[in-house]
């Protein structure tokens, strides 16, 4: 890690979306990365964005080097100093810029949803593979130490048993009615997947993660979907089922029309795990979950033998910085140690998008069950 | 209430199921009711049951009167002293004994699931209506003061907004493998509805309650169900949808194969309410729920503006005693004040069973969407 810290990966950010502010701060916080360039469709927009976000750049970083500013995305992709790009542009533009970056030997960190469909993801992943660069999507919660802690419990046969049921929700409601007209997430030509791509991505990813990325056998959309005038999904849900004798079922609900929620409940044969903030922890430096195991009802069923235990997991760096740090570590291993890119991350993106496609297919087929 | 307390309703308990122990204690705790008789299929079983459960009877009650013991269900139904019966017998026997009791002018408190299907419920409800006696099912949580508190929040347009999404689970796993062979809840000829009737009843009831008993337009079972060798459901789920432009969706999962859970999450356009113990509170005298309203993400989306607030609601009497107390109050109003039986409670039982039937119908039709 020390070596990676001494020669941090130089990041170019393509696009000035709101989420880019968070990532610029993360790139600055992570010891394995540094911000080298920002590109927008206009130079003045890029300059304004950088000046507004200088506050997130650590002093060490700003003194260490100058951040280059480009009035085009090409500028970043063609800058030979830039070693990795971060793509917070609308989903429909991911393939073009991810492939352009990969072909120039740059590593690719792309926002979710990764593609409009799994075909998009495969093109990007393949371009990275052929060019020997790292691919990763911007799902931050997977990098929080809480997630590792949860993994340990899920795998614990004595405390948790077999995974039986997952329910997840990812919902928010922008008070600003303009959101429903103007936000890229509700524009068919920009982010065609709406709430399914933006919020449902996390639920689908969590369900897959809990199942160690074993794909379900069937995907069935819940039989109602709410869309805006452009046909973009504002609210939907689905259930997943895995084959086999044992129960293994998952449901999720994603929405731009419900009060803020980021729920993840995982029930096993012997234990239950609940998170209310799995995507963005309530606070940066400490996150918790509730866990109960082998709970019974007391005699007469007038109470429970115990209440869920709250488990706290602290972290020095916020999860987005840990994500960028891990990305930087992998890039360092490739460029300095000659390692191959880690195939885990493109695999996760591909499977997540595959299930997202299946949900959309089920919706489009009148809520029929889709065999994966 | 004072008048009702001075002349408590004399209860006869028909059957010595485990749940009857809890109700005997509740009848004793409630100031409006008293235990008058117990009947089982054998006299010795009834005697043993009473002697084992005397501990739950308050001293005042045991000194006040003798509890009669019958070696048949008929004995209780034909005892002229008995004013109301409680029916914890297997579901398939409810109609026979509820009707027999109603025809003898006795009020009827019946365990859930009320019937094998809604036809059963209608027969019982009609027998009670014709004979002017009160009908109520044994859903206890509806009588907890927490439930009233939740109702107030759900109806609060400013704090909660419009109801959008409900998810509920009712699951438990009996460690004893014998359960799956011998418990009446998994016997086709006794409780044919299995986990759907026993555990799903609560989820369906909660979803209806949250919607002020407005029936959904469609019911769709989740596309997998687990059954035992007799074909009794051990695990299933469903989604409900209400018509109209606004999102209004509910999902539930009920199981005899998952670790203990009694979850109820209700999401509105402006607030979220979560309970983890909605059917049986963790403790008898205090219950809580989590509530959040108008929560947003802080700048950069690196946290939330607030965490859910835990609201505690205390109760002197446990919820089952409050249920029996309410039943006693209604009976008192009928017999002393000449009131009509309260139609709310049979209405709730009927609608709950109607949706339970729809879930079963959807399962039997290969998980098709059923129009209610």
Same domain assignment for residues B152 and B19:
no
Q: Which of residues 199-238 of A touch B (CB under 8 A)?
A: 218, 220, 222-224, 226, 234-235, 237
Task: Give me the residues paired with residue B241 across strands.
Answer: B218, B249
Q: Which of residues 41-70 of A touch B (CB under 8 A)?
A: 56
Q: Is A187 exposed, middle or buried (0-12, 13-18, 19+ CB in 10 A)?
A: middle
pLDDT tens for chain A, residues 1 to 372 = 456 667 899 999 999 988 999 999 999 999 999 999 999 999 999 999 999 988 888 765 555 568 999 999 999 999 999 999 999 999 999 999 999 999 999 999 999 999 999 999 999 999 999 999 999 999 999 999 999 999 999 999 999 999 999 999 999 997 666 677 677 777 777 777 999 999 999 999 999 999 999 999 999 999 999 999 899 999 999 999 998 878 899 999 999 999 999 999 999 999 999 999 999 999 999 999 999 999 999 999 999 999 999 999 999 999 999 999 999 999 999 999 999 999 999 999 999 999 999 999 999 999 999 999
For A231, other C-beta atoms within 10 Å of its C-beta total 9
Q: Which of residues 328-367 of A touch B (CB under 8 A)?
A: 367
Same domain assignment for residues A65 and A111:
yes
Task: Report how many domains make up chain B.
Answer: 2
**Is the N-terminal amide bond of A276 cis, ω within 30° of 0?**
no
For chain B, list residues with pLDDT below 50: 1
CATH number at residue A237: 3.30.360.10
Same domain assignment for residues B271 and B335:
no
**Which ipTM score applies to this complex?**
0.94
Closest CA to A259 of B2, B110, B273: B273
Same domain assignment for residues B309 and B161:
yes
DSSP letter (8 states) at residue B193: T
Residue A364 inside a domain? The answer is: yes
- Closest partner residue to B301 among A22, A165, A271, by Cβ? A22
Same domain assignment for residues B207 and B246:
yes
| Phi, psi of B36, rounded to the nearest 5 degrees | -110, -30
- Asked if the C-beta of A276 comes within 8 angstroms of chain B's C-beta atoms, the answer is yes
- Locate the chain B residue with the closest alpha carbon to A140: B302
- Closest partner residue to A258 among B22, B235, B269, by Cβ? B269
Same domain assignment for residues A165 and A83:
no
CATH number at residue A338: 3.40.50.720
Task: Give me the residues paired with residue A165 across strands.
Answer: A249, A267
A173-219, pLDDT tens digit by residue?
976 666 776 777 777 777 779 999 999 999 999 999 999 999 999 99
- Locate the chain A residue with the closest alpha carbon to B220: A223
Residue A347 inside a domain? The answer is: no
How many CA atoms lie within 13 Å of A301's alpha carbon, on the beta-carbon side?
19
- The two beta strands, B33-39 and A218-221, are unpaired
- Asked if the C-beta of A297 comes within 8 angstroms of chain B's C-beta atoms, the answer is yes
Q: Residue B100 to residues B35, B74, B93, B96, B335: CA-CA distances in angstroms?
A: 19, 9, 11, 6, 19
How far apart (Å, rounded) are the C-alpha atoms in residues B86 and B46?
15
Cα radius of gyration rounded to whole Å, chain B: 21
List CB contacts (< 8 A) between B222 and chain A: 220, 239, 241, 249, 251
How far apart (Å, rounded) are the C-alpha atoms in residues A139 and A134?
15
Residue B90 inside a domain? The answer is: yes
For A303, other C-beta atoms within 10 Å of its C-beta total 18
Pick among B302, B304, B370 to test the A interface (most A CBs inside 10 A): B302
Rounded to 10 degrees, the C-alpha dihedral A119/A125/A131/A135 comes to: 150
Contacts for B361 with CB less than 8 Å, ≥ 6 apart: B219, B370
Task: Give me the residues paired with residue A166 across strands.
Answer: A250, A266
Same domain assignment for residues B134 and B151:
no
**Is the N-terminal amide bond of B113 cis, ω within 30° of 0?**
yes
Same domain assignment for residues B43 and B111:
yes
Contacts for B337 with CB less than 8 Å, ≥ 6 apart: none
Residue B346 inside a domain? The answer is: no
Residue-level pLDDT at A61: 54
Q: Which of residues 130-149 of A touch B (CB under 8 A)?
A: none
Buried b (16+ CB within 10 A) or exposed e, B137-160: bbbbbbbbebbebbeebbeeeebb
- The two beta strands, B249-255 and B163-171, are parallel
Same domain assignment for residues B97 and B153:
no
Q: How far is B158 from chain A (nearest CA, A)?
A: 12
Residue-level pLDDT at B215: 96
Residue B347 inside a domain? The answer is: no
Residue A300 inside a domain? The answer is: yes
- Closest partner residue to B282 among A224, A257, A303, by Cβ? A303
Task: Give me the residues paired with residue B267 across strands.
Answer: B165, B272
Residue B145 inside a domain? The answer is: yes
Q: How far is A163 from chain B (nearest CA, A)?
A: 9
Same domain assignment for residues B184 and B306:
yes
List CB contacts (< 8 A) between A269 and chain B: 173, 257-259
List CB contacts (< 8 A) between A257 and chain B: 164, 246-247, 269
Same domain assignment for residues B193 and B265:
yes
Q: Domain range holding B107? A: 2-139+320-341
Residue A72 inside a domain? The answer is: yes
Same domain assignment for residues B337 and B367:
no
B214-272, pLDDT tens digit by residue?
999 999 999 999 999 899 999 999 999 998 878 899 999 999 999 999 999 999 999 99
């Amino acid at each position: 890690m020390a070596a990676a810290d001494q020669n941090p990966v130089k990041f170019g950010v393509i696009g000035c979306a709101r989420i880019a502010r968070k990532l610029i701060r993360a790139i600055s916080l992570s010891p394995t990365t540094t911000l080298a360039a920002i590109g927008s469709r206009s130079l003045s927009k890029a300059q304004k964005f950088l000046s507004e976000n200088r506050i997130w750049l650590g002093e060490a970083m700003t003194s260490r080097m100058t951040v280059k500013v480009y009035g085009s995305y090409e500028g970043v992709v063609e800058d030979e100093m830039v070693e990795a790009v971060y793509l917070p542009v609308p989903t429909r533009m991911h393939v073009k810029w991810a492939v352009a970056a990969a072909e120039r030997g740059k590593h690719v960190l792309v926002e979710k949803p990764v593609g409009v469909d799994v075909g998009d993801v495969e093109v990007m992943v393949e371009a990275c593979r052929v060019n020997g660069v790292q691919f990763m999507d911007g799902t931050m919660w997977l990098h929080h130490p809480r997630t590792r802690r949860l993994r340990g419990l899920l795998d614990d046969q004595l405390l948790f048993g077999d995974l039986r049921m997952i329910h997840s929700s990812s919902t928010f409601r922008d008070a600003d009615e303009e959101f429903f007209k103007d936000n890229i997430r509700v524009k068919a030509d920009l982010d065609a997947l709406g709430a399914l791509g933006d919020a449902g991505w996390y639920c689908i990813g969590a369900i897959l993660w809990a199942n160690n990325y074993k794909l379900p056998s069937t995907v069935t959309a819940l039989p109602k979907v709410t869309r805006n005038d452009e046909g973009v999904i504002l609210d939907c849900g689905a259930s997943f089922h895995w084959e086999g004798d044992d129960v293994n079922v998952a449901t999720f609900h994603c929405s731009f029309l419900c009060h803020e929620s980021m729920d993840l409940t995982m029930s096993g044969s012997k234990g239950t795990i609940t998170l209310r903030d799995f995507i963005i922890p309530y606070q940066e430096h400490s996150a918790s979950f509730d866990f109960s195991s082998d709970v019974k009802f007391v005699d007469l069923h007038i109470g429970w033998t115990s209440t869920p235990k709250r488990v706290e997991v602290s972290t020095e760096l916020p999860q987005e910085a840990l994500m960028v740090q891990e990305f930087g570590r992998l890039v360092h291993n490739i460029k300095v140690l000659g390692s191959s890119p880690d195939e885990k991350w493109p695999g996760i993106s591909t499977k997540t998008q595959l299930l997202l496609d299946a949900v959309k297919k089920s919706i489009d087929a009148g809520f029929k069950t889709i065999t994966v």
